[in-house]
């Protein structure tokens, strides 16, 4: 059976956002500041419906221990932290003091700064400092695309059975069908590796630029 994909026009996208958990004042101001201060990089910020989805998913899973790889100015981490259980903790990995400086301000404004630990440095190295046991409930990967397989291999053995890994940008604006650059090729290869990984069951969703959800077995 085949189905026709729904064309997501700007008007329909606005309707979709308005009829979910709409962005509050803090989220709106964070998104606006990111676009104004970092116009060339703002594309790295998650979409508003993604932020709402991350909060919803984190709450649904009852997450207490979470990891984020790639924090940028903090919208996704803010969304995850808001969905954590009362005693929950989020460990964020990023390489930029500049971008995460914005994130810190908004975490404080939202009252979630005590739930978040930020570690600055190459995630390929800093992830290895995490405990080796299977204790993580949730992970979100949204960093350099070539590094995805490294982050995946560090995280999967640390996820408890039933935990979920969410991976952003797995459709690459459709270019996974005809990769044009190294990042496109890296994601296309990563997607093939995930679906072949017997440690997880995965589904790809057409949210924003594509989000893969993998449940660890």
1 pLDDT band, cuts 50/70/90, is low
Domain assignment of residue 3, yes or no:
no
* Polymer length of the chain: 217
Domain count, the chain: 1
Residues 6 or more apart whose CB falls under 8 angstroms from that of 133 comprise 158
pLDDT at residue 101 tops 90: yes
Q: What residues make up the domain containing 29?
A: 10-216
Residue 148 domain flag:
yes
Give the pLDDT confidence of 135-150 residue by residue, as tens digits.
999 999 999 999 999 9
Checking if the pLDDT of 4 tops 60, the result is yes
Tell whether 1 is covered by a domain: no
Mean pLDDT over residues 176-200, rounded?
98
DSSP one-letter string for the chain: ---PPPP--HHHHHHHHHTSS---HHHHHHHHHHHHH-TTTGGGSPPHHHHHHHHHHHHHHT-SEEEEE--TTSHHHHHHHHHS-TT-EEEEEES-HHHHHHHHHHHHHHT-GGGEEEEES-HHHHGGGS-SSS-EEEEEE-S-GGGHHHHHHHHGGGEEEEEEEEEE-SSGGGTTSS--SHHHHHHHHHHHHHHH-TTEEEEEE-STT-EEEEEE-
CA dist., res. 88 & res. 135, Å (int):
12
Q: Is the pLDDT of residue 199 over 60?
A: yes
pLDDT confidence of 5, banded at 50, 70, 90? confident
What φ, ψ does residue 125 adopt, rounded to 5°? -100, -45
Mean pLDDT of the residues in the chain: 96
The answer to whether 155 and 207 have CB atoms below 8 angstroms apart is: no
Q: Tell me the pLDDT band of 7, cut-offs 50, 70 and 90.
A: confident
CATH number at residue 116: 3.40.50.150
Q: Compute the average pLDDT of residues 169-182.
A: 96
Give whole-number Cα distances, 71 to 63, 80, 157, in Å: 18, 11, 22
Q: Tell me whether residue 109 is in a domain.
A: yes
- Is 5 inside any structural domain? no
Structure tokens at 195: 């679906």
Taking the C-alpha atoms of residue 148 and residue 163, their distance in angstroms, rounded to an integer, is 18
Query: Which phi and psi angles does 166 have, rounded to 5°?
Result: -105, 135
When pLDDT is cut at 50, 70 and 90, the band that residue 6 belongs to is confident
Whether 68 is covered by a domain: the verdict is yes
Task: Give percent of the chain above pLDDT 70.
Answer: 99
Question: Is residue 123 in some structural domain?
Answer: yes
Q: Which of 203, 129, 128 has the alpha carbon at shortest distance from 167?
A: 203
Percent of the chain topping pLDDT 90:
91
Domain-embedded: residue 97: yes
Structure confidence at residue 2 (pLDDT): 59
């Amino acid at each position: 059976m085949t189905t026709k994909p729904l064309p997501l026009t700007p008007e329909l996208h606005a309707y979709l956002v308005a009829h979910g958990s709409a962005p509050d004042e803090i989220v709106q101001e964070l998104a606006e500041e990111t676009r104004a201060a970092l116009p060339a990089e703002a594309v790295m910020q998650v979409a508003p419906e993604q932020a709402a989805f991350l909060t919803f998913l984190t709450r649904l899973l009852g997450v207490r221990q979470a990891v984020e790889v790639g924090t940028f100015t903090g919208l996704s981490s803010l969304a995850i932290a808001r969905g954590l259980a009362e005693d929950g903790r989020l460990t964020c990995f990023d390489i930029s003091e500049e971008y995460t400086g914005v994130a810190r301000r908004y975490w404080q404004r939202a009252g979630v700064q005590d739930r978040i630990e930020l570690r600055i440095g190459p995630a390929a190295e800093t992830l290895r400092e995490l405990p080796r046991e299977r204790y993580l409930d949730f992970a979100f990967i949204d960093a350099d695309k070539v590094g995805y397989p490294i982050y995946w291999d560090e995280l999967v053995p640390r996820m408890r059975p039933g935990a979920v890994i969410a991976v952003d940008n797995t459709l690459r604006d459709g270019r996974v069908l005809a990769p044009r650059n190294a990042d496109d090729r890296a994601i296309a290869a990563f997607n093939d590796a995930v679906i072949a990984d017997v440690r997880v069951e995965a589904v790809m969703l057409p949210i924003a630029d594509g989000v893969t959800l993998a449940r660890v077995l």
